[in-house]
Amino acid sequence: MRLHHRGRVVRTRDDIVKFEKMSEQLLIFGESPTLTLLLEEVKIKLGWNDVDFVQIQGVIDVGSANGPRIKRLLPISSDLE
């Protein structure tokens, strides 16, 4: 999983998402993590030991390698999303 933090998220007029001046870290899991495990690892990587609530968003990448690529941010609040 790619963890993007700091910097900012910019939305274009077409609602396409771009990441500007963000740091990126990779989180490697042996199998698909639960949302709880994912949030625990994010908090460890970022040193957020005293944070109780973390809101995350996932990027859905729509399009093809030959056509336009559209990235949208979607909130994630459970393992089903």
| pLDDT of the residue at 21 | 93
Span 30-69, pLDDT tens digits: 998 888 888 888 888 888 888 887 777 877 777 766 766 6
Confirm whether pTM is higher than 0.95. no
Q: Alpha-carbon distance 21 to 10, whole Å?
A: 11
* Confidence band, pLDDT 50/70/90 cuts, at residue 81: low
Spatial CA neighbour of 60 closest among 46, 71, 45, 76: 71
Domain range list for the chain: 2-76
